Chains A and B, each alone.
Chain A
Amino acid sequence: MKETHAIRRRKAGQFMDSFRKNRMGMTGAIMLCFFLIMAVAGPLLLPYNAMDFGVADDVFAPPSREHILGQDDMGRDVLRALISGARISLSVGILSTLISMVAGTFLGIVAGYSGGKIDVLMMRFTDVFLVLPWLPLMLILAAVLGSSIWNIILVIGLTSWAGTARVVRAQTLTVKERQFIERARAIGAGNGYIMTRHILPNVFPLVFANTILVSAVAIISETTLSFLGMGDTLHPSWGMMLHYAFESGAASIGAYWFLLPPGLCVVGVVLSFTFLGYAFDEILNPKLKKR
């Protein structure tokens, strides 16, 4: 199947060409790479131990040669905490998006493809998740499940699939009307086969762009949950850092080195995902193709 690979490469090549020309997309990619490297390699260079508390004078010590970004509310190095937070924030963002993507895609395709009563019921069910206030719903689920990092991932995944399901369903409805679906049925293909072999691959590109935007939202959600105290204290994410910054009054005592960097990091990562999602949408969404 060498040729198939060649085709994949060719398609990927075309995609990369368009991508490289997309300024926002490239900015996003570079930013994301930066954060990915930070998350993967950072802890090797500047390991962080959440239990590495300082003494009285270390608490909120401003930036110094030793601690470039100063020290936090427990006298730990902010830079190291930031680096270790990258790992948490990114994994939460990516994993919860995965859950939401799988659930949303599955429900969207099944609802859109099946139509009729199944569709109506599934979509009403989806609506419920769209109309329930999202943040409190997450807070409640987090309270129900307890705030371990895995639960946070689950909670974000479980509350964010509805949007994806809608997008996927809408897309499925248009793909379903394409003749190649009819053709597949004519040669005797079953529903499962059609959904996985024909609908999914054609729905996926748009889902993909959407997914990246969902990751952005997931990271913000994690930050918000943590900020409101529903995070995992043992795995301090940027949101958790902000929570502690705020709880310990970093803003009012002027410890900007503890308040700004995690916030900026969140903005950076989310922005990189947003830019990427925007760029993929530009490239993959046929509606946005230039005339």
Chain B
Amino acid sequence: KEAVPAPAMRVGWGVEPDSLSPFVSYTQAGAEVFSLLYDSLVNFDENLVPQGNLASSWSLSSNQLEWTFNLVEGVKWHDGENFTSEDVKFSYELMMESGLGLYSDFLTGITEIECPDENTVIIRTEKPKANMLMITAPIVPEHIWKDVAFEDLELWENEHPIGTGPFSFVQWNSGEFLKLKANSSYFNGKPAIEELIFVLYANNDTMAQALKTGELDAAINMNVNQVKALKKEAGISVISAAAFGFTELSVNASLDPELQGNSNLQDPVVRQALEWALDKQNIIDVAYAGQGIPGTTLVPPDNFWHYEPAAGKKRSFNPEKAKSLLEAAGYRDSNGDGIREDGSGNSLIFNFMLRAKSAEEVKAGQMISGMLKNIGIGTEIETVDDGVLVDRIYAGEFDLFIWGWGTDVDPTTILAVMSTDQIGNLSDCNYSNPVYDEMLLEQSTLMNKTERQKMVWKMQEILYDDAPYIILFYDAAVQAVRTDRWQGWKQIPENGPYFFNLTSINYKNVFPVSGN
């Protein structure tokens, strides 16, 4: 209809990057865009197994402390400059030095980077570094970034990003759209999408409408309820894929006597009883339109590191079990008001914060509140906005709330949330366990995958038993694409999402339906 040179692809999304600078952005949308504009040393294949990207091959020294990466030759930046090993060294060092950006965490443990020649990078580490091949940090051009003063790094907008990636930057109208175009001289071959336009939608209802009317070719952050409806539309493929993340009921498990939470939550029995009381499938069905998988531990299933409790140990919906656990532990309803009291007569009534931002979480919260009522636990629901919630978490003035996490391929980041040193920072349940803390450090140095898996499983088991988090379910990413316009769409990994899947494979591989 409009004068658009085909083939252009319009992708609707609900959030846009907070910045185009890898040192400033902390969002998933940002990461997605960086994966298109920039390349990293390695990235993931369709099964999320690391593969070479800018690095054509690599080797690890026998003491496991020195990595040598051989780079692809003849790679050029979007502005025509040559890409060299110095760019890699520059990027990594800048990230490590500033500590800014989504990627700097992955670089911990690196002690030295050396560039013996233009196409070789040597990276030395203090201890063996298990996640070295999980680093997807974008390599930025030294010839541009060297002019940015270190103090300004946090404010420098990177308004016109130059990368080596499959797409180059055209235009960003913040609040409207972000436009990229195919990098015709991409060393891995030019993508079939000539123009890639991400369109920001302030609400996902109109986004779905736009997909239906054909204003969009794909939509990323769809509403769970739309799955059913869109399935009926011809030419649209809608998926509800296992996303990289989970939603949890977080419990204030702090043992600190100074903190303000309800002290009965310090008892693991109470926390476990909470989980026994929840019909997770029902919550998913009603509050999330059936999209999601009941959850157990912090690492999502389909991931090599995921630990699934044995059948005998697993806490599934069983209110009777919850009640008997509580009875046994001495929580009885002694005054007949339907709410249990502890030994000293304090009612088991918990403050329960829900994020006003998320309609689904509020719904889930209301259902949970009802389910807990059934086992004699009262809740006082408060819907708050994120600012308030964060304040209260830091002040320790909370009992229960619902929120979620996104996860990586590598389990370290998410497992770190539960470490003692994250209290007051990332930890939002104030969980503390010295044994766990030690294991967290150790697993990151285990180069043997099986060994490391064992330890990671053990950590998850500890958490499952202590239940500071009650993992409600693993999130589903609802995404839809118009298959009557583009073909070759792949879910990554198997049953995974089309977009936001830690790779840029779909953008590089889809091609127009002939005759369109």
Q: Which residue of chain B has its CB nearest to the CB of A58?
A: B286
Report A55-70 residues with CB < 8 Å from chain B CB.
55-56, 58-60
Contact with A along B82-101 (1 / 0, CB 8 A): 00000000000000000000
Q: Is B112 an interface residue (CB 8 A)?
A: no
Size category of the A interface is 20 to 34
B370 touches A51 (CB 8 A): yes
A233 touches B381 (CB 8 A): yes
A248 touches B285 (CB 8 A): no
Report B185-238 residues with CB < 8 Å from chain A CB.
203-206, 208-209, 212, 223-226, 228-229
Contact of B384 among A146, A249, A254 (CB under 8 A): A146
Q: Is A234 an interface residue (CB 8 A)?
A: yes
Contact A248/B359 with A232-B383, A233-B381 known, Cβ cut-off 8 Å: yes
Report A235-268 residues with CB < 8 Å from chain B CB.
243-244, 246-254
B359 touches A247 (CB 8 A): yes
B381 touches A246 (CB 8 A): no
Residues of A contacting B204 in the complex (Cβ-Cβ under 8 angstroms): 249
Distance in Å: Cβ of B484 to nearest Cβ of chain A: 19
A53 touches B286 (CB 8 A): yes
Q: Is B388 an interface residue (CB 8 A)?
A: yes
Q: Which residue of chain B has its CB nearest to the CB of A248?
A: B225
Size category of the B interface is 35 or more
B282 touches A74 (CB 8 A): no
A252 touches B359 (CB 8 A): no
Q: Is B287 an interface residue (CB 8 A)?
A: yes
Distance in Å: Cβ of B288 to nearest Cβ of chain A: 10
Q: Which residue of chain A has its CB nearest to the CB of B229?
A: A253
A53 touches B205 (CB 8 A): no
Distance in Å: Cβ of B510 to nearest Cβ of chain A: 24
Contact with B along A22-62 (1 / 0, CB 8 A): 00000000000000000000000000001101111011100
B388 touches A252 (CB 8 A): no
Q: Main SS of chain B's interface residues?
A: helix
CA distance A166 to B362 in the complex (A): 40
Q: Which residue of chain A has its CB nearest to the CB of B224?
A: A248
B382 touches A146 (CB 8 A): yes
Residues of B contacting A56 in the complex (Cβ-Cβ under 8 angstroms): 285-286, 290
A252 touches B209 (CB 8 A): yes
B383 touches A74 (CB 8 A): no
Q: Is B75 an interface residue (CB 8 A)?
A: no
Q: Is A77 an interface residue (CB 8 A)?
A: no
Q: Is B130 an interface residue (CB 8 A)?
A: no
Q: Which residue of chain B has its CB nearest to the CB of A228?
A: B356
Residues of A contacting B223 in the complex (Cβ-Cβ under 8 angstroms): 247-249, 252
Contact of B366 among A51, A60, A232 (CB under 8 A): A51
Q: Is B126 an interface residue (CB 8 A)?
A: no
CA distance A234 to B360 in the complex (A): 14
B229 touches A230 (CB 8 A): no
Q: Which residue of chain A has its CB nearest to the CB of B478?
A: A249
Contact with A along B268-308 (1 / 0, CB 8 A): 00000000000000100111011000000000000000000
CA distance A212 to B385 in the complex (A): 32
Residues of B contacting A230 in the complex (Cβ-Cβ under 8 angstroms): 356
CA distance A233 to B208 in the complex (A): 25
Contact of A59 among B203, B205, B286, B362 (CB under 8 A): B286
Binding site for A on B (CB under 8 A): 203-206, 208-209, 212, 223-226, 228-229, 282, 285-287, 289-290, 354, 356-357, 359-360, 362-363, 366-367, 369-370, 373, 381-385, 387-388
5 examples of A-B residue contacts, CB within 8 angstroms: A58-B286, A74-B363, A229-B356, A248-B289, A252-B206
A54-B286, A248-B224 known; 5 other A-B pairs, CB under 8 Å? Answer: A53-B286, A73-B363, A244-B363, A246-B203, A246-B205
